């Protein structure tokens, strides 16, 4: 994680109170920030799902009660095992589907790799099984220019209506009838940082 990249993210981010979409406000305030869950240690620190990304993903699984999961990409085995371990610690059941195990109806969560040349095709593939609360996950979206480009393509995809950038994970929703909105949200609270950002906003209002 680049310190400059993360600092830029924090500077442009908002907390739950800076989100004006009721749908996203609920996710942030009731799912990403308020829940306290135990996340098992990640053995591979270079994993696309590092400890922070796993923490955010597990909070999403709890908030949406997501059980039917579709994991795509070359890191699918690694991601599947990380989620499976997390689900065991949360005492929740999850089912993994693939081209071998066809999806019965609506899928709750889809994981796709951060590959700018494939994201559009992958989204098209999963659209028939997406519901209004189904979400797409991309991990490690700021670790390289290529992955940032992939995330930008997701945001620009005509089927994607809402995206949430948490730095460690990108979250996308394909909600018919909802205006296109993009949010950059920090999932941790820091009194010092909230004070600094409050001063930034006040400065902008004054000048």
Query: What does the pLDDT look like over 5-27, one tens digit per residue?
Result: 787 888 788 877 678 889 989 99
Handedness of CA 14, 146, 4, 76 (dihedral sign): positive
Q: What is the pLDDT of residue 199?
A: 47
Query: Going by C-beta distance under 8 Å and a sequence separation of 6 or more, which residues neighbour residue 145?
Result: none
C-alpha 72/C-alpha 81 separation (Å) is 13
Q: Is the pLDDT of residue 59 over 70?
A: yes
CATH number of the structural domain spanning residue 145 = 3.40.50
Tokens at 150, concatenated: 């992939």
Given a cut of 80, is residue 61 above it in pLDDT? yes
pTM for the whole structure: 0.85
Q: Tell me, what's the pLDDT at 205?
A: 40
CA distance to 7, 83, 134, per residue, from 91 (Å): 35, 12, 21
Domain that includes residue 174, residue range: 3-206
Q: Give tens-digit pLDDT for 145-190.
A: 999 999 999 999 999 999 999 999 999 999 988 889 999 988 876 5
- Report pLDDT for 12: 81
- Would you say 60 and 33 are in contact if contact means Cβ atoms under 8 Å apart? no
Looking at the structure of the chain, the number of domains it has is 1
Confidence of residue 207 (pLDDT cuts 50, 70, 90): very low
């Amino acid at each position: 994680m680049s310190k400059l990249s993360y600092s830029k993210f924090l500077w442009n981010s908002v907390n739950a109170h800076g989100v004006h979409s009721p749908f996203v406000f609920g996710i942030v305030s009731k799912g990403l920030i308020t829940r306290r869950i135990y996340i098992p240690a990640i053995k591979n620190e270079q994993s696309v799902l590092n400890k922070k990304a796993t923490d955010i993903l597990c909070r999403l699984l709890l908030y949406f009660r997501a059980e039917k999961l579709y994991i795509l990409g070359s890191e699918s085995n690694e991601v599947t095992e990380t989620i499976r371990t997390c689900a065991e610690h949360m005492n929740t059941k999850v089912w993994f589907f693939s081209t071998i195990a066809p999806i019965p109806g609506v899928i709750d969560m889809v994981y796709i790799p951060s590959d700018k040349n494939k994201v559009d095709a992958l989204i098209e593939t999963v659209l028939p099984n997406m519901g209004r609360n189904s979400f797409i996950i991309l991990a490690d979206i700021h670790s390289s220019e290529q992955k940032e480009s992939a995330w930008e393509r997701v945001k620009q995809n005509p089927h994607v209506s809402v995206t949430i950038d948490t730095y460690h994970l990108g979250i996308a929703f394909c909600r018919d009838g909802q205006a296109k909105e993009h949010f950059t949200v920090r999932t941790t609270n820091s009194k010092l940082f909230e004070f600094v950002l409050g001063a930034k906003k006040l400065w902008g209002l004054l000048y």
